[in-house]
Amino acid sequence: MNAYNNPLRNPQDRRLPRIAGPCVLVIFGVTGDLSRKKLMPAVYDLANRGLLPPGFALVGFARRDWANQDFAQQVHDAVKENARTEFREEVWEQLLEGIRFVSGSFDDDAAFARLGETIRELDETRGTGGNHAFYLSIPPSGFETVMTMLRKHGLTEGGEDNWNRVVIEKPFGHDLQSAKELDDVVSALFEPHEVFRIDHYLGKETVQNILALRFANQMFEPIWNNHYVSHVEITMAEDIGIGGRAGYFDGIGIARDVMQNHLLQLLALAAMEEPTSFEASQLRTEKKKVLAAARVPEPYDLHTARGQYAAGWQGGKPVIGYLEEEGVSADSGTETYAAIRVDIDNRRWAGVPFYLRTAKRLPRRVTEVALSFKRAPHLPFTATDTEELGTNALVMRIQPDEGVTLRFGAKVPGTQMEIREVSMDFGYGGSFTESSPEAYERLILDVLLGDPPLFPQQEEVELSWKILDPVLEYWASLDEQPEQYEAGTWGPRSGLEMLARDGFKWRRP
Amino acid sequence: MITELTDTSSRDIAAALIKARRTVGTASGLVLTLLIVTDGEHFDEVLAAAQASATAHPSRVIVVTYVDAEKPQLDATIQVGEGHPGDLLILRLHGRLREHGDSICLPLLLPDSPTIVWWPNNAPDNLALDPIGSLADRRITDAASAPDPQEALIRRARNHAAGDTDLTWTRLTRWRALLAASLEQTRATITGACVRSAPDNAPATLLAAWLSDRLGVDVTRVDGDGIGVNEVVLNTDDGDIVLSRVREGTAHYRVPGEPERSVALRRRPLTDLLTEELQRMDADDIFERTVQKVLEDSEAS
């Protein structure tokens, strides 16, 4: 059925955007923060950019006693407050016609029957043609209930000409076993290509930026290997603590929360071979290959580190330690700092350690991938000339201020001969559109268009757990609590020692 | 930081620009040079649009205006920072200097990155042979602002060179996108088409030519009461696909077998149009084919 050749389209006509076909987007957990701050504004922004179809409907499902217009008001407020693009009445009216609300809990048969009626009514009055996207903005524990109810009430029955798709968010399980169980639930109802997993830290834009940098240029690829690179550091630092999320975070820890998905995805993108094309399936093949070749070297006590933030001063404000946070017991073994070394056993990367670290309550919020290069084999300068010369580095800054930094040596003007490190900087924000689309905007559009997402599929999720699971088991087997590090510093001593052992030092991002 | 230079040269302007950048400390992330050739009358409107698009595409904007005078003289205003990313140069060319705009602008273009010339109102007949036009990779005109838009469009078509585009085409993008989407939805074979518009509307001429070229059917033109393009009807065996603007900002969209729906479809402001134009630096082949079609049709009639 995809053989239709639209005479009005031409590959050369690159002005024409692709507009999604008519469909209904059903959001579960629509009263949540994420929905209000990100999803609903993203839907509006898409409409404003003219990318939503005529005949688009948005259905909210939650346990509120709301009528359609109450929900519409909520959407209106959320859009006004958080949308990226300017608010325009005519765009809003186009959206408003298709906004519905269904009140109920996730195990309420009557509510799902009402949801079914609402969707059928929309299919007819709005011409949405039986195309439905379900966005589960809810904790994973609710997945099974919702999925079962969707099936029971025949909401996911597909025909030849329509589609059903589902969006789920990280965490995708808390270890290999649970990830598999979760997948069983999802795949019972949806085919792999109908499941969209979102990692909102890693938008499609970012992924594509990394791919373009690596594979659209001639000058980086020749040095992108163990002949030139000495080691790679992948950092994701947050300056905040756990806030009020002890219930979610305690017992899970930052390695499961962030390292398994975000950091290992970044590692895969930075280390993979060139895909034969940029089709999602080819990209996935390469990512899977490199993840399958990655492992954390033993012994784990030398090549991993974990910590918990202690009370301290964060950017001029006193903050409490993790163990004093509300809802966290004093003997909690949950880590808020995790660092691991990953070795990749292939010809390109053998002998180049990848260091991954992520933590809360570090000095600033930053995510980056930094390739440090070996020193030049011979320096025709005296040792004192090059005293201030570090090693060359190429840093892909992910957030904030996405861009690329090159570090290299330059002569200090006026001195006889003194070489010091300088930066050459490129920022996406500086050279391109000020506001590139939000990760959620891209994702929702991909879902509605049926574009294969660049987000991980189940196999990548499982491979990531295979890398991390042994470390998590080792950490769980330890009696002592994670090492304390003062809030507002770059982490515990064990994290520094872990690199020092290999002769390196973390760069300051 | 604003610097005024009177009776100056390209060299002094370049030096003042570097000094201004050092003082303000802007990063050099500029992606293109936008040359705007305009007259005094439209100056403010054009400048506002250029600066607004500069937020999307940080650029060096060079506004060239001509001053009637005996003595050839170059005056310049340099603005760096001042709330807009990129640089802004306003050059006033007095007298005979008009014929040597290229020699003044060439030293001021950003190295390597693309150069775009925009004539917001009156444009020379042959853009690519114009002294300033010859510097550019892309040349943007606006037939709709000419005294006779239809005639301007034909003139554009006759002298078309790769890299030329016209804002009348940009005004159509949203219409074209919705029509393309309607075909994706119905997958119907189109047997005929009709475009209703204000009399002698230049974008409508382009739209009709595009439809006729792509669909291989004759497109009827009808005069309507609204401004710009009013309505497009595509005939299929199952009924008509209709996209009609019912009031500013809103259109009705109907495809066979489905309820009528309204979609947002507004007349886009200049900033939007310019931003879209600056998004792509390669020649627009579809535009070229469409203006050639306009030319063929006008010669045939």
pLDDT tens for B23-80 read 665 546 677 899 999 877 788 888 888 877 777 777 889 999 988 888 999 999 998 8
- Mean pLDDT for B206-222 is 94
- Give A53's DSSP letter: P
Under a CB-based contact definition with an 8 Å cutoff, are residues B95 and B128 in contact?
no
What was the pLDDT predicted at A431? 62
Chain B closest CA to A3's CA: distance in Å?
Answer: 10
Average pLDDT of the residues in A362-385: 87
- Stronger pLDDT, A147 or B58, i.e. the higher one: A147
- pLDDT at res. B145: 85
Nearest Cα of chain B lies from the Cα of A135 at a distance, in angstroms, of: 24
Nearest to B115 by CA among B62, B76, B159: B62
Q: What is the dotted CATH code of the domain comprising B173-270?
A: 3.40.30
Highest mean pLDDT among A143-147, A184-188, A299-303, B124-128: A299-303
SS3 of residue A404 by DSSP: strand
Q: Taking the domain B2-167, which CATH number applies?
A: 3.40.50
Asked whether the beta carbons of residue A16 and residue B174 sit closer than 8 angstroms, the reply is: no
Interface of B with A (CB under 8 A): 27, 29-31, 55-58, 85, 170, 173-174, 176-181, 183-185, 187, 190, 211, 214-216, 249-250, 253, 255, 258-259, 261-264, 266, 276, 280, 284-286
Residues 6+ apart with CB under 8 A from B73: B6, B7, B94, B95, B97
Are residues B177 and A48, on separate chains, in Cβ contact within 8 Å? no
State both tokens at A136: 């589960």
Label residue B301 exposed, middle or buried (CB < 10 Å: 0-12, 13-18, 19+): exposed
pLDDT the model gives residue A115: 92
Confidence (pLDDT) at B58: 77
Catalytic residue, from A76, A174, A231, A262: name it.
A262
Residue A332, pLDDT above cutoff 80: yes
pLDDT of B26 reads: 54
Average pLDDT of chain A, as a whole number: 88
| Domain boundary assignment for chain B | 2-167, 173-270
Task: State pTM to two decimals.
Answer: 0.80
Chain segment A346-363, per-residue pLDDT in tens: 999 999 999 999 999 998
CA–CA gap between residue B67 and residue B96 (Å, rounded): 10
Who among B57, B249, B253 is closest to A54 (CB)? B253
> Chain B partners of A15 at a C-beta cutoff of 8 Å?
170, 173, 176, 276, 280, 284, 286
User: Which chain A residues touch B249 with a CB distance below 8 Å?
Assistant: 88-90
- The answer to whether A193 is a known catalytic residue is no
From the CB of residue A45, how many other CB atoms can be counted at a distance below 10 Å? 25
Closest residue to A8, CB basis, from B30, B183, B250:
B183
Whole-angstrom distance, CA of residue A266 vs CA of residue A87: 35
pLDDT number for residue A1: 41
Mean pLDDT of B192-199: 94
User: In this predicted structure, what is the pLDDT of residue A352?
Assistant: 97
Other C-beta atoms closer than 10 Å to the C-beta of A387 total: 11
**Predicted confidence band at A200 (pLDDT cuts at 50, 70, 90)?**
low
> Above 70 in pLDDT, residue A114?
yes
What stretches of A47-179 adopt beta strand conformation (E)? 56-62, 99-103, 132-136, 164-169
Instruction: Say what the ipTM of the complex is.
Output: 0.77
pLDDT in tens, A10-58: 888 888 888 888 899 999 988 888 888 889 999 999 998 888 888 899 9
From B178, B264, B276, residue closest to A15, measured CB to CB: B276
